[in-house]
Structure 1
Amino acid sequence: MRVLWCLALCAIVGGCASVTRGTTETISVSSTPSGAEATVSGLEAPLTCSTPCAFVAKRNADISVSIAKDGYETQIVPLTKDIPAAGAAGFAGNILAGGLIGMGVDAATGAATDHKPNPVIVTLQPHRAAAPARPARQRRPAPTAPEAGT
């Protein structure tokens, strides 16, 4: 019975994946060590949080996460979009109920996709210590030739 209601709603609203999965998802970010600053680009407004943290993003957003902490190398993780089995099933439901309109709605909203990796897990690498600078060699002045006439 629940499936019938969902299919009926898909036909009315437009996209099955949009109805069953929604147009947003929660993405988690963690780092070792924790307490790093995660800067998320690709959202409507830039977002910064301290790891571990989570944020909500539109499924069709092109997202990258930059993770930085003093004393460690900054890492940038681009997220890709993938169609999991649940998204494919919702998108395929459009054939039964939503038709071309439903497929268009799901494609535009990215409802059939998930971001990968989710969760974003990063192990930060410490900065390599710079080799200490060697003291400059002091040059001895070149011997001068005695002046003529002395």
Structure 2
Amino acid sequence: MRIIAASLSFLALTACGTVTRGTTEQVTFLSEPPGAAMRTSFGTGCPVTPCTLEIPRKQEFVTTFSLPGHADVQVPVTTKLSGTGGASMAGNLVAGGLIGAGVDAYHGTAYDHTPNPVIGRMVPFSSPLPARRRRAAPQS
């Protein structure tokens, strides 16, 4: 009986998304044009894009891209339930792993960041307005 209980406990814990997917996700940051500085609303960032950071799966944030001669661009990054993460949660429920399901929910392991990659499309500051066309003088 102990062997069966131990086997069920092991099965419940191995179905856990925390084990199979991890509590963090690699998020890639790109800018157009490349070379912008990037910072997140929770404090981390990269001095130059492109770059990739390891972000907690349940962390939503706003990314700000900065590049001299261009307007700053902010891109919100949200989380969504992923197909793989949903399957992990279903595996917990099928295997009877309420503990595993609780751990997954706490760590947000069923979620993925969107968008990923995060792209900051930089807009250059406006150049001076072109010279106005002169109207033709009225003919007399």
Fold shared by both chains (TM-score > 0.5)? yes
The DSSP-based 3-state class of the residue aligned with 2:97 is helix
Q: Unaligned regions of 5+ residues in structure 2, if any? A: 1-7, 130-140
Give the corresponding residue for 2:137: none
Does the C-alpha gap of structure 1 residues 10 and 117 become closer, same or farther in structure 2, counting only changes over 3 Å? farther
Give the corresponding residue for 1:37: 37
Give the corresponding residue for 2:80: 82
Count how many residue pairs are aligned between Structure 1 and Structure 2. 123
Question: What amino acid is aligned across from residue 24 of structure 2 in structure 1?
Answer: T
Question: What amino acid is aligned across from residue 88 of structure 2 in structure 1?
Answer: G
Q: Is the 8 A contact 1:90 1:112 kept in 2?
A: yes
Give the corresponding residue for 1:140: none
Q: Is the 8 A contact 2:82 2:112 kept in 1?
A: yes
Question: What amino acid is aligned across from residue 34 of structure 1 in structure 2?
Answer: P
Give the corresponding residue for 1:25: 25
**1:54 and 2:26 correspond:** no
Percent pairwise identity: 39
CA distances 1:2-36 after superposition (whole Å, capped 9, x unpaired): xxxxx8645236x6211111101100011111110
- Specify the structure having the higher radius of gyration (Cα): 1
Please report the RMSD computed on the Cα atoms of aligned residues, expressed in angstroms.
2.2
Q: Distance between the aligned counterparts of 1:63 and 1:17, measured in 2?
A: 22
Give the corresponding residue for 1:134: none
1:67 corresponds, among 65, 68, 82, to 65
The DSSP-based 3-state class of the residue aligned with 2:47 is strand
Question: What amino acid is aligned across from residue 115 of structure 2 in structure 1?
Answer: P
Q: Is the 8 A contact 2:65 2:72 kept in 1?
A: yes
By percentage of residues, which structure has more strand? Answer: 2
Q: Distance between the aligned counterparts of 2:41 and 2:10, measured in 1?
A: 34
Q: Unaligned regions of 5+ residues in structure 1, if any? A: 1-6, 132-150
**Structure 1 runs (4+) greater than 6 angstroms displaced:** none
